[in-house]
């Protein structure tokens, strides 16, 4: 894949800082000497440049550089770095360019300051785009409305490393990841590296993971999470009892699906019948007038091909029933309903936190449980990072965890290969 970076865009009316002219002087070659020559670099700094140095630096503060990254002529990423303040006008200009760049997939702002107006302008044009990745690393916002980005229709990757996110903001993000909200069906990777998240924020993320079956990668390294917070995250990865609210929500979603699906199918059938009537020419004469009533009664209202098309149209109108607490994912025992653990999360990074030996024991229990359920649709945890914590360098639980992870990876490979073979047949 050929990719390149275009020349940087500079806002109109802005100037670059002037540099002193450079003059390359090549020394004269002396007879009898080698042809190798040394180049002397001399800098001639004019008095005008010295006097206007402060003016040039002031002009540089008003220079906004927006880097556009292209791939085979298509704009795929916009990059904005090191800005103390980003004007609203820039986001309005970007919004005008969005409809003409459907291949734009990534939007990056790094080492910059984001205020409420910037977040608001971004939240207006991002839903109209096809952007799937947003990176705001090292870009602090005192309003911290990062949860607005999770409402973007196509967002799959969100990186908020070193954004000074605390438990309150983490709770807002976690609330958007709870099922059945839209972000719980789309977001695949979330990066919260090097923030100020403690056990409270980790507990809210663990609550969101109970019903979230889309998130594959969660990075919580470099935070303030201890054993209690890690237990909240790990507990939902193995069998857990459902609360009364979760059971009630499951039943309500099932009733809504059973009610809306037939209605959507009937409306699609009527639409197809209307299209057939409009396309077929009208019959004239006795043949149409003397049509047999018995034949009309016995005739099927829709052909088999049209029925398949109507079902496909109904599936587009009403999403397929994919509930994390469906009958296939729940177990009834001891007068309580239990849910199979979250097997969708594949990568969990808890490095450089405040974890100790109890977290290692809990992790070993999770991997032991998931290894017994490896035949499920999802592979479960395949990569876990706990380095930089106050955990033993070597212990029985760590060795068992390594063996479980190796076994899960091998089973995942075998299952992928078998699926490939079935597809080829």
Q: Which residues contact 15 (CB under 8 A, 6 or more apart)?
A: 56, 59, 60, 63
3 state SS of 13:
coil
Provide the pLDDT for residue 379: 82
Within a domain: residue 14?
no
Within a domain: residue 42?
no
pLDDT tens track for 6-34: 444 434 444 444 444 434 344 444 444 44
Give bridge partners of residue 43 from the DSSP assignment.
22
Within a domain: residue 364?
no
- Residue 195's pLDDT band, with cuts at 50, 70 and 90, is very high
Cβ–Cβ < 8 Å for 107, 133: yes
Provide the pLDDT for residue 223: 97
Q: What is the DSSP string of 199-246?
A: HHHHHHHHHHHTT--S--EEE-TTS---HHHHHHHHHTTS-EEPPHHH
Domain hosting 264: range is 241-273+304-338
Within a domain: residue 264?
yes
**Highest mean pLDDT: which of 261-265, 270-274, 383-387?**
383-387
* Phi-psi domain of 347 (left: phi exceeds 0; alpha: psi -120 through 50; beta: other): beta
Residue 113 DSSP code: B
Give which of 14, 19, 39 is closest to 29, Cα–Cα.
39
Provide the pLDDT for residue 135: 95
Give the DSSP H or E segment for 40.
Answer: strand 40-43
Angle (CA) 288-284-279 rounded to 5° is 90
Provide the pLDDT for residue 328: 82
pLDDT score of 201 more than 90: yes
- Residue 299's pLDDT band, with cuts at 50, 70 and 90, is very low
The more confidently predicted of residues 25 and 147 is: 147
Within a domain: residue 62?
no
27: phi then psi, degrees, rounded to nearest 5: -65, 155
Give which of 219, 184, 188 is closest to 325, Cα–Cα.
184
Within a domain: residue 258?
yes
Please tell me the total count of domains within the chain. 1
Within a domain: residue 388?
no
- Residue 378's pLDDT band, with cuts at 50, 70 and 90, is confident
pLDDT tens track for 82-129: 888 888 888 889 999 999 999 999 999 999 888 878 888 888 888 889
pLDDT score of 322 more than 80: no
């Amino acid at each position: 894949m050929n990719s390149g970076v275009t020349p940087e865009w500079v806002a109109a009316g802005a100037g670059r800082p002037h540099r002193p002219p450079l003059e390359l002087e090549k020394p004269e070659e002396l007879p009898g000497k080698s042809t190798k020559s040394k180049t002397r670099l001399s800098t001639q700094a004019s008095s005008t440049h010295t006097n206007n140095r402060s003016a040039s630096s002031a002009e540089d503060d008003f220079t906004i550089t927006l880097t556009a990254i292209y791939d085979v002529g298509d704009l795929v990423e916009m990059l904005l770095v090191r800005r103390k303040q980003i004007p609203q006008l820039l986001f309005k200009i970007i919004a005008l360019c969005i409809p003409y760049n459907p291949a734009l997939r990534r939007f990056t702002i790094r080492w910059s300051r984001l205020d409420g107006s910037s977040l608001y302008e971004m939240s207006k044009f991002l839903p109209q785009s096809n952007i799937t990745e947003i990176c705001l690393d090292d870009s602090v916002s005192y309003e911290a409305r990062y949860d607005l980005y999770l409402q973007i229709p196509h967002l799959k990757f969100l990186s908020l490393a070193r954004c000074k996110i605390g438990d309150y903001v983490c709770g807002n993000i976690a609330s958007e990841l709870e099922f059945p909200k839209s972000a719980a069906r789309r977001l695949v990777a979330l990066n919260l590296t090097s923030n100020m998240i403690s056990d409270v924020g980790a507990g809210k993320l663990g609550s969101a993971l109970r019903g979230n079956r889309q998130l594959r990668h969660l990075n919580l390294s470099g935070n303030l999470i201890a054993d209690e917070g890690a237990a909240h995250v790990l507990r939902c990865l193995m069998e857990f009892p459902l609360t009364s609210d979760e059971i009630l929500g499951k039943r309500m979603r099932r009733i809504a699906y059973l009610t809306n699906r037939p209605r959507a199918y009937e409306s699609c059938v009527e639409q197809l019948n209307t299209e057939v009537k409009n396309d077929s020419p009208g019959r004239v004469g006795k043949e149409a007038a003397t049509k047999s009533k018995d034949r009309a009664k016995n005739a099927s209202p829709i052909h088999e091909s049209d029925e398949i098309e109507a079902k496909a149209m109904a599936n587009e109108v009403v999403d397929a029933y994919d509930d994390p607490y469906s009958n296939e994912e729940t177990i009834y025992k001891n007068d309580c309903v239990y849910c199979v653990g979250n097997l969708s999360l594949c990568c969990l990074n808890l490095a450089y936190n405040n974890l100790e030996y109890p977290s290692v024991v809990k992790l070993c229990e999770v991997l032991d449980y998931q290894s017994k359920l490896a035949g499920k649709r999802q592979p479960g945890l395949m990569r876990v990072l706990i380095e930089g914590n106050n955990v033993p360098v070597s212990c029985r639980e760590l060795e068992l965890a390594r063996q479980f992870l190796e076994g899960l990876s091998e089973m995942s490979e075998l299952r992928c290969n078998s699926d490939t073979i079935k597809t080829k047949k």
